[in-house]
């Protein structure tokens, strides 16, 4: 073989090897980190490989969904109460007195 070709191969082959090794190390590191932190792995077509939905996970999702609905309802009622409190605080005192008096008259009239 020609010595120039050998020198050229000595320069090019390590660069090619590095160009192949670096992305492979990156893929392995990415996969390892995803497994370590519990992220799902993707297959060749983008479908999740891990974790698979088992019965325990489905039950947990149902419980969390129902708890979420209950908490949303509670937050809604708290918002309503806060609006009422804000209205009472920001209204003019005379207007509040008129509303209270109107309610007293309405209550005494219904008896």
pLDDT at 52: 59
Which H/E stretch holds residue 42?
strand 41-42
Res. 110 pLDDT band, cuts 50 70 90? low
Domain range annotation of the chain: 3-110
**pTM of structure:** 0.39
Nearest residue to 37 via CA among 50, 24, 48: 50
Strand partners, 50: 41
Contact 40, 48 (CB under 8 A): yes
40-99 tens-digit pLDDT: 777 777 777 765 567 888 888 899 999 999 999 999 999 999 998 888 888 777 777 888
Q: What is the pLDDT of residue 68?
A: 96
CB 40 within 8 A of CB 51: yes
Q: What angle do CA 55, 58, 60 make, to 5 degrees?
A: 110
Q: What is the structure's pLDDT at 40?
A: 75
């Amino acid at each position: 073989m020609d010595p120039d070709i050998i020198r050229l191969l000595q320069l090019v082959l390590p660069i090619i090897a590095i160009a192949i090794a670096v992305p492979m190390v990156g893929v392995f590191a990415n996969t390892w980190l995803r497994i370590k932190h519990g992220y799902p792995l993707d297959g060749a077509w983008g479908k999740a490989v891990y974790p698979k939905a088992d019965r325990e996970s489905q039950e947990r999702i149902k419980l969390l969904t129902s708890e979420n609905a209950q908490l949303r309802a509670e937050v809604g009622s708290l918002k309503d109460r806060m609006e009422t409190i804000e209205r009472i605080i920001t209204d003019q005192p005379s207007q509040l007195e008129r509303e209270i008096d109107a309610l007293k008259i309405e209550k005494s009239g219904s008896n």
